[in-house]
Homo-oligomer: A and B are copies of this chain.
Amino acid sequence: MNEQGWRDRLDAKQDDHLRELVDLLGVPSVSTDPARRADVRHAATIVAERLRTAGVPDVILAESAGHPAVIGRWLVDDTQPTILIYGHYDVQPAEPLELWESDAFTPTIRDGKLYARGSADMKGNLLTAIQGVEAIAAANDGRPPINVTFIFEGEEEIGSPNLRAIVREYKDWLMADAVVSADGGQHGPGVPSQSVALKGLGGCQINLATANSDLHSGMYGATVPNAVQSLVQLAATFHDAEGRVTVAGFYDNVKDLTDAERAEIAAVPFDEAELKHEVGLDELWGEVGWTPRERQWARPTLDMNGIWGGFQGDGVKTVTPREAHLKITCRLVPDQDPAEVVELIRTHVAAHRPPGATVEVVSLPGSARPFVLDRSNPVHLAVGDVLRDLFGREPYVVRTGGTVPATGIFKEELGIDTATLGWSMPGSGAHAPNEWYRIEDYYVGRIGYAALVERLRR
């Protein structure tokens, strides 16, 4: 073992590694966009090739009905543990493009941050894992001290619809003692944290129709139901004035937070003024009776992601629209079930159907169960030690409002829990314009992954 060896190597490689990240960010691997299919595959081949140059002997593109996953297997010693490092190489759409200060797929450095779609979520984190393992292998006679398997999927941003099938097909390749997800972040610059919970996700699209045609509002507006007006009436029934979700049964399976959990959440600093400043708001919003952090981390939400109907151009069109549409996703907590929640929404919609309207509720792909990690998980403990070493302080115990469907799939298909080690910062604009990633965190992240592998050696 030669810790100074891999640290020196990582220091020497900073410029090369930054270039690698810039190259990967330049590929618009937007998984939701059919026009980007070739770009998504291009990103997969870059990641596969990067695993090979790192020394990983078995690297494949695991094909699926959608985008491929990249799987790399580096088995070195069956007396040593095996970790499965998870991540994704796909990104969210960059729209609305006009809000980006620099092109979303032309990575640009400003103030020590790299701005690009996918920088924080999560091409930077993905490369830190590969580069960290590469460095420790190079300093250890060309092989890592433990068995390491990688799986980087190309459909996380669309809810991992084919990951379960891939995990089933490659079960033998993927079986491990623990999963480490690189899809995460830290509390703040120099302040570590460990996530112990992820929210689940369930979503649907509501398609509402009134007449069989768009109509002249002067001739028909007074007698024929207006689809936009009907949809806003329906949509306004999903929350009460105090931010609670009014869908009957929505909270039935929600496990109440214990006093200990509320105390743990309250122990993590939260700067409400900073959040308001970041998003440009004077007042926050949300379910009454819970702190903002409790709402973010441990209370379920029903979120409207998009709405459209009728005339959306410049000027005036005096039309009575025939149809309108609403996209909803719910962030879920234990023990809510995604399919059950969509059913509850379906029942709510049927009960609140506006007069004269026909309404259908279509489940959207990408559902995921909520996840809570057992605190005694050995990799979780090792990640804690790595963070203590790197940052010289105790990591905060945090939760994640986001959703990583893979976590549930690994649990259900392989029986393995997932710990998280990632480097993104709060406010870095994942899923939003002007997404960024601190270059300093990128460099440190590689050290973290090398250190984690070293710590897990028996």
Report whether A331 and B211 are in contact in the complex, using a CB–CB cutoff of 8 Å.
no
A350 within 8 A of partner (CB): no
Interface residues of A in 234-250 (CB under 8 A from B): 235-236, 238-239
Contacts of A299 in B (CB 8 A): 222
Q: How many copies does the complex hold?
A: 2
A224-B281 contact in complex given A199-B218, A214-B433, A329-B316, C-beta closer than 8 Å? yes
Choose among A33, A219, A309, A426 the residue with the greatest number of B CB atoms under 10 Å from its CB.
A219
Report whether B296 and A304 are in contact in the complex, using a CB–CB cutoff of 8 Å.
no
Report whether A331 and B221 are in contact in the complex, using a CB–CB cutoff of 8 Å.
yes
Contacts of A305 in B (CB 8 A): 217, 228, 310-311, 316-321
Label chain A's interface by main secondary structure. Answer: loop
Report whether A307 and B306 are in contact in the complex, using a CB–CB cutoff of 8 Å.
no
Report whether A307 and B304 are in contact in the complex, using a CB–CB cutoff of 8 Å.
no
- Write the nearest CB–CB distance from A231 to chain B, whole angstroms: 8
Interface residues of A in 277-330 (CB under 8 A from B): 279-287, 292, 295-296, 299, 301, 303-321, 324-327, 329
The residue from B236, B331, B365 contacting A222, defined by CB atoms under 8 A apart: B331
Contacts of A301 in B (CB 8 A): 217, 221-222
Contacts of A284 in B (CB 8 A): 223-225, 356
The residue from B317, B324, B331, B366 contacting A316, defined by CB atoms under 8 A apart: B366
A215-B431 contact in complex given A32-B315, A158-B315, A317-B92, C-beta closer than 8 Å? yes
Report whether B311 and A310 are in contact in the complex, using a CB–CB cutoff of 8 Å.
no
Complex Cα distance A316/B325, Å?
13
A304-B229 contact in complex given A296-B219, A315-B32, A316-B365, C-beta closer than 8 Å? yes
Contact surface of A with B, Cβ cutoff 8 Å: 32-34, 92-93, 96, 99, 158-159, 199, 201, 203, 210-226, 228-229, 231-233, 235-236, 238-239, 275, 279-287, 292, 295-296, 299, 301, 303-321, 324-327, 329, 331, 355-356, 364-366, 400-403, 426, 429-434
